[in-house]
Structure 1
Amino acid sequence: MNARHTLLILLALATVALLAFIGLALDPQMRNDLERWTAVPENTHVDATRQRTAQPLAPLPATESSQIAQPESAVSPNLLARLPLRPSLVATTYESSDTPSSTSAEASTWKRSELVANSAALMVGDDEMLPLEGMQLHAKIDGFRARVLLDLYFYNDNYSTLEGRLKLRLPEGATPFYLAFGQTEWEDEVLPKDHPIWRSREKVRSARTNPEDLLASRTETWIGPKEAKMVSRKKAAFAFRETVRREIDPAILQWAGPGMFSAAVYPIEPEQVHHIVVGYDVDLITLGDTLELRIDVPQDVPAALVDVNVAKLPAVAVTTQPAALGDTVDNHVFYRFEDVSGKALLVHQKVEGNVLLDGSDSAGSFFAAHLTPDIPASEEIPSSPRAVFVVDTSLSSNPDRFNVYLALLEAVLTNNRDSLQEFAVVFVDVEARWYADGFLANTKENVDALIVAANTLALEGATDVGLALREATSPRWYKSQNEQAWDVFFLSDASATWGEDDPHALAAILASGNAGPVFSYKSGLGGSDDALLAQLARQSGGALFSVTGSSEVAAASRAHRSRPWQLVDVTLSGGSDLLLSGAPRQLYPGQELVLVGRGRPDAEASAKFVLRRPGVETSSVLEAKFAHRMTSEMAPRVYGSVALSQLESLQRATGDVSEAYARHFRVTGPSASLLMLESEDDYLSYGIVPEDDTLVVTSESATARLRTAVAQIGESLGDPKARFLGWIGEMKGTEGLGFAPSEAFLGVLAAMPKSAFAAPERDLVGTTQLRSKLSQDLREKLASRTFSGDDLDDEAERRFAQNGADDGIKALSSLVEEHPGDSTILRDVGFRALEWGRGEQAYHLFKRVASARPWEPQTYHALALTLAELGHNDLALAYFEVGLAGQWDGRFGEFSTIMAIDYARFLNQVDASTLSAPEFAAQRRKEVTAGLELDEAGLLVTMTWNTDGTDVDLHVVEPGGEECFYSHPKTAMGGSMTRDVTQGYGPEMYVLPKTKAGKYLIKAKYYSSDSTRLTTRTKVAVTVYRNWGKSNETVERQVVKLESTGEVQEISSFEVK
Structure 2
Amino acid sequence: MATLHLQSVRFMLTRWWRQALQALLACSAVGLAAPALALSPTPPPRPPVERLVPPIRIVAEQAREPVRIQAAVVQAEIVGLSVATRVELTLFNPNNAVLSGELQFPLSATQVVTGFALEINGELRDAVPVEKAKGRQVFEDVTRQRVDPALLEATQGNFHKLQVYPLPAAGTRRVVLEIRESIAPGRPPVWRLPLRFGRPVARLDVSVRAAQLPPNALDASLGADRLEARPMDGGSRLDLGRSDYSGANELRVTLPAASNKALTSTEHFRDRRYFVAELPIQEAAWPRQAPRKLGLLWDASGSGAARDHGRELALLEAYFRHLRDVEVQLVLVRHVAEPVQRFRVRGGDWTALRQALEGVAYDGATRMEALVPPSGSDLTLLFTDGIGNWGTGALAFGKTPTFAFTASAGAAVRTLRSPAEVSGGGVADLLSVPTAQALGLLTHERPRLMAVRSNEATDLETASLYPEAGRLAVAGVLNAPKATVRLTLSGPNGRTTTREFDVDTPRVEGGNKMPPVGVAAHRWAEMRLARLEANEALHRREIHDLGIHFRMATRETSLIVLDTLADYVRHDIEPPADLMPAWQRSRQQKSTNDAAERERSLNSVVSRFSKLVTWWETTYPKDSPQPEEGQASVQGSGVARPDAAMDRRRTEEEQRLSPPSRSREVQPPVAMAAPAPAPVMPAPAEARMAAAPAAPAAPTPGSAQAAPNATISLRAWQPNEPYVRRLREAKPEQLYAIYLDEKRGYLNSSAFFLDVADLLSERGEKDLAVRVLSNLAEMDLENRHLLRILAYRLLLIGQVQDALPLLGQVRRLAPDEPQSLRDLALAHAQAGDPQAAVDLLWEVVNRRWDPRFPDVELIALTELNAIAARSAAAGKPLDLTRVDPRLRRALPLDLRVALTWDADNTDIDLWVTDPNGEPCYFGRPLTRQGGHMSRDFTAGFGPEVFSLRDAKPGTYTVQARFYGHRQQVVAPATTLMVKLSTGYGSAGQQDRDLVVRLSGQGDRVTIGTFVVEGKASLQSLDPRSSNPETATN
1:931 matched residue in structure 2: 889
After superposition, the Cα gap between the structure-2 partners of 1:350 and 1:1044, relative to the gap in structure 1 and judged at 3 Å, is farther
Measure, in 2, the Cα distance between the counterparts of 1:235 and 1:926: 28
Match of 1:945 in 2: 901
Which residue of 90, 93, 101 corresponds with 1:156?
A: 93
C-alpha distance in 1 between matches for 2:599 and 2:519 = 40
Q: CA distance change for structure 1 residues 842 and 900 in 2, over 3 Å: closer, same or farther? A: same
Aligned-partner SS, 1:237: helix
C-alpha root-mean-square deviation of aligned residues, in Å?
A: 4.6
Provide the residue aligned with 1:823 in structure 2. Answer: 784
Provide the C-alpha distance between the structure 2 equivalents of 1:461 and 1:1055, rounded to a whole number of angstroms.
40
Per the TM alignment, residue 990 of structure 1 is displaced from its structure 2 partner at its CA by 0.6
- Map of 1:870 onto structure 2: 831
The one of 933, 937, 942 aligned to 1:986: 942
Using the TM superposition, give the Cα deviation of residue 143 of structure 1 relative to its aligned residue in structure 2, in angstroms. Answer: 5.0
Query: Among residues 277, 280, 294, which one is paired with 1:369 in the alignment?
Result: 277
Higher helix share: 1
**Equivalent residues in 2 for 1:329-408, closer than 5 Å:** 329=230, 330=232, 331-332=235-236, 334=238, 336=240, 339-343=245-249, 351-352=257-258, 353=260, 355-361=263-269, 363=271, 365-377=273-285, 379-400=286-307, 405-408=312-315
Instruction: Quote the offset at 1:259 in angstroms.
Output: 2.3
Q: Which residue of 2 aligns with 1:594?
A: 473
Q: Deviations over 1:602-653 (max 9, x none)?
A: 99x986423356996x8532256999x9953333322333344446668899
- Mapped to 2, the partners of 1:572 and 1:767 lie a distance apart of 64
Q: Residues 151, 576 of structure 1: CA spacing in aligned structure 2 closer, same or farther, 3 A cutoff?
A: same
For residue 467 of structure 1, what is the aligned residue in structure 2? 370
Q: Using the alignment, how far apart are the partners of 2:759 and 2:347 within structure 1?
A: 40
**1:558-577 pair list within 5 angstroms:** 558-563=440-445, 567=449, 569-570=451-452, 576-577=457-458
1:178 offset after TM fit, Å? 2.7
Alpha-carbon distance, 1:1002 to partner: 1.4
Please give the TM-score of this superposition, normalised by the length of structure 2. 0.69
Task: Tell whether 2:381 aligns with 1:489.
Answer: yes
CA distance in 2, matches of 1:611, 1:739: 61
Contact conserved, 1:768 with 1:807, CA < 8 A, in 2?
no
Which of these residues, 664, 671, 681, is aligned with residue 566 of structure 2? 681
Structure 1 148/963 Cα, relative in aligned 2: closer, same or farther at 3 Å? Answer: farther
The 1:335–1:407 alpha-carbon spacing in structure 2 relative to 1, beyond 3 Å, is farther
Alpha-carbon distance between aligned partners in 2 of 1:911 and 1:347, rounded to the nearest angstrom? 72
Instruction: Assess if the C-alpha contact under 8 Å between 1:110 and 1:523 holds in 2.
Output: no
Cα-to-partner distance string for 1:366-420 (whole Å, 9 max, x where unaligned): 332334422353x3231432222223344444525655544544444444x15x7
Question: Partner of 2:226 in structure 1?
Answer: 325
Deviation at 1:893, TM superposition (A): 2.3
Amino acid at match of 1:175: V
> CA 1:318–1:389 in 2, change beyond 3 Å: closer, same or farther?
farther
Query: Is 1:393–1:402's contact at 8 Å kept on the other side of the alignment?
Result: no
Q: Is the 8 A contact 1:1006 1:1045 kept in 2?
A: yes
Q: Distance in 1 between matches of 2:476 and 2:159?
A: 27
Are the counterparts in 2 of residues 1005 and 1049 from structure 1 also a CA contact under 8 Å? Answer: yes
Determine whether 1:609 maps to 2:482: no
Residue 944 of structure 1 deviates from its aligned partner by: 1.5
Q: Structure 1, residues 44-86: CA drift from partner, whole Å, max 9, x if none?
A: xxxxxxxxxxxxxxxx9xxx324xx97633x5322xxxxxxxx
Moved more, 997-1006 or 340-349: 340-349
SS at match of 2:434: helix
Q: Secondary structure at the match of 1:438?
A: strand
Contact preservation (8 Å) 1:119, 1:170: no
SS at match of 2:788: helix
Equivalent of residue 230 in structure 1, options 122, 126, 129: 129
Instruction: After TM superposition, give the deviation of residue 542 of structure 1 in Å.
Output: 2.5
Distance 1:841 1:485 in 2: 29
CA distance 1:659–1:348, shift in 2 (3 Å): same
Cα distance between partner residues in 2 of 1:517 and 1:735: 56
- Paired residue for 2:984? 1028
Residue 621 of structure 1 pairs with residue 498 of structure 2:
yes
> Pick from 394, 397, 411: which aligns with 1:506?
394
Match of 2:41 among 72, 89, 107: 72
Specify the code of the residue in structure 1 equivalent to 2:457.
S
Separation of aligned partners in 1, 2:241 and 2:735 = 44
Question: Is the alpha carbon distance of 1:789 and 1:259 closer, same or farther for their aligned partners in structure 2, counting shifts above 3 Å?
Answer: farther
Instruction: Name the SS for the 2:811 alignment partner.
Output: helix
Residue 940 of structure 1 deviates from its aligned partner by 0.6
Counterpart CA distance in 1 for 2:887 and 2:734 is 47
Task: Tell whether the 8 Å contact from 2:264 to 2:503 is kept in structure 1 after alignment.
Answer: yes
Shift of 1:669: 0.4
User: What does 1:634-713 correspond to in 2, within 5 Å?
Assistant: 634-646=519-531, 659-689=544-574
- TM-score where L is the length of structure 1: 0.68
Q: CA deviation at 1:238?
A: 2.9
Shift of residue 308 of structure 1? 7.0
Q: 2:172 aligns with which of 263, 273, 276?
A: 273
Q: Deviations over 1:99-147 (max 9, x none)?
A: x3xxxxxxx54566xxx5344232336x989433456373745555554
Quick check: 2:331–2:341 contact (8 Å CA) kept in 1?
A: no
CA gap 1:1031/1:551 in 2 versus in 1, 3 angstroms: closer
| Counterpart Cα distance in 2 of 1:462 and 1:129 | 35
CA distance in structure 2 between the aligned counterparts of 1:739 and 1:426, rounded to whole angstroms? 57
Post-superposition shift, 1:816?
3.2
2-side partners of 1:250 and 1:945: how far apart? Answer: 26
Work out which of the residue numbers 861, 865, 869 in structure 2 matches 1:904. 865
- Structure of greater Rg: 2
For 2:460, the equivalent position in structure 1 comes to 579
CA distance in 2, matches of 1:794, 1:588: 50
Q: Distance in 2 between matches of 1:287 and 1:838?
A: 51
Is the CA contact 1:839–1:870 (under 8 Å) kept in the aligned structure 2?
Answer: yes
Secondary structure of the structure 2 residue equivalent to 1:827: helix
- Distance in 2 (CA, whole Å) between partners of 1:547 and 1:817 is 21
| Pairing partner for 1:136 from 72, 78, 96 | 72
Whole-Å separation in 2 of the counterparts to 1:332 and 1:395: 49
How many Å apart are 1:939 and its aligned residue?
A: 1.3
CA distance in 1, matches of 2:306, 2:80: 32
Distance in 2 of aligned mates of 1:272 and 1:960: 56
Tell me how far apart the structure 2 counterparts of residues 923 and 228 of structure 1 sit (CA, whole Å). Answer: 43
Residue number in structure 2 paired with 1:16: none
- Structure 2 unaligned segments of length 5 or more: list them: 1-25, 507-514, 578-593, 603-731, 1014-1033
Q: Deviations over 1:291-348 (max 9, x none)?
A: 5637372544465858473737699764657333222234346364854544566655
Which residue number corresponds to residue 956 of structure 2? Answer: 1000
**Alignment: residue pair count:** 826
Deviation, 1:808, is 5.0
Q: Any stretches of 5+ residues in structure 1 without a counterpart?
A: 1-25, 34-59, 79-99, 101-107, 184-221, 475-483, 693-733, 743-765
Query: In structure 2, how many angstroms separate the alpha carbons of the residues matched to 1:941 and 1:577?
Result: 59
Distance 1:588 1:878, change over 3 A: farther
Q: Does 1:851 align with 2:795?
A: no
User: Matched residues, percent identical?
Assistant: 21
Would you say the 8 A contact 2:185–2:469 is kept in 1? Answer: no
Q: CA deviation at 1:897?
A: 2.4
